[in-house]
Amino acid sequence: MNYSKQFVVGLPKAELHLHLEGTLEPDLKLKLAIKNHVNIGQKTIKEVKASYRFHDLTSFLKVYYPAMNVLQKESDFYDLAWAYLLKAKKNNVKYCELFFDPQAHTSRGVSFKTVINGYYKAVSQAKKLGIEAHLIMCFLRDMPYESAKKTYQQMLPYKNKIIAIGLDSDERNNPPEKFIKIFKQAKKDGLHITMHCDIDQIDSIKHIKTCLKNIGVERIDHGTNIVEDKSLVDFAIKHKIGFTCCPVSNSFVTKDMKGKEIKYLLKKGALVTVNSDDPAYFQSYISDDMYTLATKYKLTKAEMIKLVKNSFNASFMSEKKKKQYLKLVDKYAKAH
């Protein structure tokens, strides 16, 4: 490889697949647990770190949701998002669209207002760090449709604080069509739409097809199983569908980074991007994900530049703004 980790860290980036709740580092978790008098069952950072263990999506989510009990006050949500933004700055993230899961908090008695106001305060202050940040509200697909509908109603008075609607959590027995009505409504209401199609799920390809052909999503989060159907790959390229891939996360939940699939999609001209998903749990921020993938799959400098350009192109920003960010990438590439 004719470039260093430093080159990758310095590349101007957009991050499009990042769960704010997945940025809860063990030290902040412990600090908030003590402050809010929440018994988390661990007493040291080392013990918290040791508890971050899983082998698939379901076992990951079993660790992930209980950890959120430490988030109680508006300032806790702010602190969590701000800590991520500081890390993003170090990774030269210039633009980000961040997932959050209101139902994971409202279901345990924290109000929607507390969650959104805390997160929004942080994203609106991101400018101070030279970052443009936006929020994507996700529904938990393993909760009933009625709960998603209620959450959508709770969101409406704050609609100008979010850019898009997403769908995450356990995909098993929770196909995208369960939420078709609410995503169509969100589109009508002027919101962008994206959905997780996690790696190697039962019916992965069927779910991807539904998302693309029946629901009309603009991006698929993960989604590399699309390589199993060449006509769908062609469809995704034609319609400029973004794929927000997370190689290190993939390697935790499936033992495979899905690097072959990412490289294939990149070469074919799909809008494939690299992101960190839940960096505190997978101990990998966006530059680490990019560099890990690059080393294992021998990506060229030109391919790394293409990946970051794809991330700006797959974002929900205006075409005019995209051009400005792409110029920044060109300038960096020229200088390095």
What is the rounded CA–CA span in Å between residue 308 and residue 230? Answer: 24
Are the C-beta atoms of residues 226 and 232 closer than 8 Å to each other?
yes
The reply on whether position 250 binds ligand ADE by CB under 6 A is no
Among 171, 277, 288, 289, the residue binding Zn ion under the rule CB under 5 A is 277
22 touching ligand ADE, by CB under 6 A? yes
The answer for residues whose C-beta is within 8 angstroms of residue 296's C-beta and 6 or more apart is 257, 259
Looking only at residues 267 through 296 of this chain, which bind ligand ADE when binding is defined by CB under 6 A? Answer: 277-278
For residue 15, the partner it binds in ligand ADE, Zn ion, none, with Cβ less than 5 to 8 A by kind, is: none
Rule CB under 6 A: say whether 132 interacts with ligand ADE.
no
DSSP assignment of 160-186 = GG-SEEEEES--TT--GGGGHHHHHHH
261 binds, among Zn ion, ligand ADE, none (CB under 5 to 8 A by kind): none
Site string for ligand ADE, 50-79 (x = CB under 6 A): -------x----------------------
Q: Could you say which of Zn ion, ligand ADE, none residue 13 binds, taking C-beta under 5 to 8 angstroms by partner kind?
A: none
Residue number with CB closer to ligand ADE (114 or 169): 169
Q: Closest residue (Cβ) to ligand ADE?
A: 168
- Residues 206, 211, 217, CA angle at the centre, nearest 5°? 160
Does 79 bind Zn ion (CB under 5 A)? Our answer is no
Pick from 13, 29, 196, 207 the residue near ligand ADE by CB under 6 A. Answer: 196
Q: Which is nearer to ligand ADE, 19 or 306 (CB)?
A: 19
Tokens 């345990």 label which residue?
A: 108
Residue 198 interacting with ligand ADE (CB under 6 A):
yes
Residue 19 interacting with ligand ADE (CB under 6 A): yes
Please identify, using beta-carbon distances, which residue of 56 and 303 lies nearer to ligand ADE. 56
Read off the tokens for 88: 């993003």
At position 282, the amino acid (one-letter code) is F
Q: Which residues, in sequence order, are bridge partners of residue 99?
A: 19, 136
**Smallest gap from residue 221 Cβ to Zn ion (A):** 5
By C-beta, is 12 or 288 nearer to ligand ADE? 288
Distance from C-alpha of 187 to C-alpha of 195, rounded to nearest angstrom = 13
Residue linked to tokens 């998002």: 81
Residue 258 interacts with ligand ADE (CB under 6 A): yes or no: no
The DSSP secondary structure of 27-96, one letter per residue, reads: HHHHHHHHHTT---S--SHHHHHHH---SSHHHHHHHHHHHGGG--SHHHHHHHHHHHHHHHHHTTEEEE
The answer to the question of residue 219 lying near ligand ADE (CB under 6 A) is: no
Apex 104 CA angle, 102 and 107, nearest 5: 95
CB of 138 to Zn ion, least distance (A): 9
Residue 119 to residues 15, 17, 52, 112, 114, Cα–Cα distance (Å): 16, 16, 24, 11, 9
Report if residue 97 touches ligand ADE, rule: CB under 6 A: no
The partner in contact with residue 79, picked from Zn ion, ligand ADE, none with C-beta cut-offs of 5 to 8 angstroms by kind, is: none
Rounded CA-CA distance 251/102 in Å is 27
Interface residue list for Zn ion (CB under 5 A): 277
* Binding positions for ligand ADE, rule: CB under 6 A: 19, 22, 57, 168-169, 196, 198, 249, 277-278
